[in-house]
Amino acid sequence: MSGKIGGACLCGKIRYEIKNNFERLFFCHCEQCQKTSGSDYTSNLFGEAGRLTWLTGKDQITRFDYHGRGFTNAFCNLCGSGVPYLNQRGTAIIVRAGSLEGKPLFAYASKIFVGERAQWNEEYAVADSYEKFPI
């Protein structure tokens, strides 16, 4: 059984809901994801197109298509959070896993574009952990 799951950007202007039965979760290490996230990878859920409902703020979204690789970024105009978007072929909806308000359900997960992985992230697995900023 799968119900719906909600999602929102950080400022809360953009809200959506979507069927919570994704096909897959990709941890994407590509160079474009590093640029748009400002981090070492993104966590993107893939599902069939046409399963998402925008609740508020759809007109607050900026979409950027990087045509060299069929890469897209979509984000809130106010807070910059990544929000869902349709892939360039219109065949799949891609949801930033961190924008969800709950636990996504998916069939399998994999790391992709690992050959482009940021060299500085190789050692993160052994970094110290803290609940908050260390003082």
**φ, ψ for residue 17 (rounded to 5)?**
-140, 155
For Zn ion, give the closer residue by CB, 3 or 62. 62
C-alpha 84/C-alpha 7 separation (Å) is 9
Nearest Cα neighbor of 23 from 108, 112, 111 is 108
Binding flags for Zn ion, 59-88, as an x/- string (CB under 5 A): -----------------x-xx---------
Binding flags for Zn ion, 17-56, as an x/- string (CB under 5 A): -----------x-x--x-----------------------
Structure tokens at 121: 């992230």
> Token match 């197109």: residue?
49
Q: How many residues bind Zn ion (CB under 5 A)?
A: 9
Binding flags for Zn ion, 1-20, as an x/- string (CB under 5 A): --------x-x-x-------
